[in-house]
Chains A and B, each alone.
Chain A
Amino acid sequence: MTDPRYAEIETHRPYLLRYAVSQLRDAQLAEEAVQEALVSALESVATFGGKSTLRTWLTSILRFKVIDLQRRAVAERRTFDGGDAAAVAGDDSWLDEAFDETGHWRAPPRAWSDPESALEQRRFWEALERCLDALPPAAGRVFFKREVLGEDTDAICRSEGITPANCWVILHRARVALRACLGRHWFGEVGDGR
């Protein structure tokens, strides 16, 4: 256990867990997939040649574990909860929290100073993780699949059991909420803003 990459691999766990949850919609199953993937990764880390990033390599291992668990779940006729996407799309109370009765921002987006440099700071990524965690789970999954994994809307709709219109509503909500969360917790925007 001397390879310095062991410790580095462990730092990717939160991302890997988010990936697994987005695919499996089940926290316990996702945990299982990540655990199995990390064990495989530690066994074969010597074969990682650095052609892709470590995270990409880990994700490709995890992807197989996820598919494996999905097959097993289907075979065992286990059902997933997580039909929550339609409910999230149907709940528009967030709009009244983000916008007033005249349709104006309650907390207007301010210009962010030097956002590019945030990307170089570890604590920014921790803040982003926290903001993603603060979303309703279905919104977090849909945003992750669309923006992070770059899946197309059709694929997302199929896996979440929602319509494209639902998907767009959820993405609108997630983007407004993430912007506000990063504005408040990273870029120093003040609470209500007015």
Chain B
Amino acid sequence: MADERPATDCREASRLLSLASERSLTQPESTALRYHLDRCLMCRNFDSQLKFLHEASERLRSGK
């Protein structure tokens, strides 16, 4: 079999990155996401910016 990978685009990758904060991703979801992230700097930026948003939100709650 040739190297047939799920075609996960940025739109789908961003959905999975957001979803990962809400529930565990399934094996196919997480495989597809990892494959995409390995090749996409923009989505890796998005990933770290989600973490930043999370941190900023926690600081917003405490007001520190």
Per-residue CB contact flags for chain A residues 163-182 toward chain B (1 = under 8 Å, else 0) read: 01001100110011011001
- B19 A168 Cβ-Cβ under 8 A: yes
- A56-B63, A147-B57, A172-B18 are known contacts. Are A103 and B49 too (CB-CB below 8 A)? no
Q: Which residues of A contact B27 (CB under 8 A)?
A: none
Query: Quick check: B10 and A99 within 8 Å, CB to CB?
Result: yes
Given contacts A53-B64, A103-B9, A175-B50, A168 and B22 within 8 Å (CB-CB): yes
Given contacts A119-B56, A171-B22, A178-B53, contact A55 B63 (CB under 8 A): yes
The one of B19, B42, B59, B63 that contacts A109, using a Cβ cutoff of 8 Å: B42
Residues of B within 8 A of A56 (CB): 61-63
* Total A-B residue contacts, Cβ distance less than 8 Å: 90
Residues of chain A having any CB pair with chain B under 8 Å? 12, 15, 53-56, 59, 95, 98-99, 102-105, 108-112, 115, 118-119, 125, 128, 147-150, 153, 164, 167-168, 171-172, 175-176, 178-179, 182-183
Question: Top 9 nearest A-B pairs by Cβ distance?
Answer: A103-B9, A55-B63, A147-B57, A109-B45, A99-B11, A103-B11, A172-B18, A108-B42, A109-B46
Contacts from B to A (Cβ < 8 Å):
9-12, 14-15, 18-19, 21-22, 42-43, 45-46, 49-50, 52-64
Main secondary structure of the interface of A (DSSP, over half): helix
A-B contact list, 10 entries, CB within 8 Å: A55-B62, A99-B11, A103-B11, A109-B46, A112-B52, A172-B15, A172-B19, A176-B18, A179-B46, A182-B49
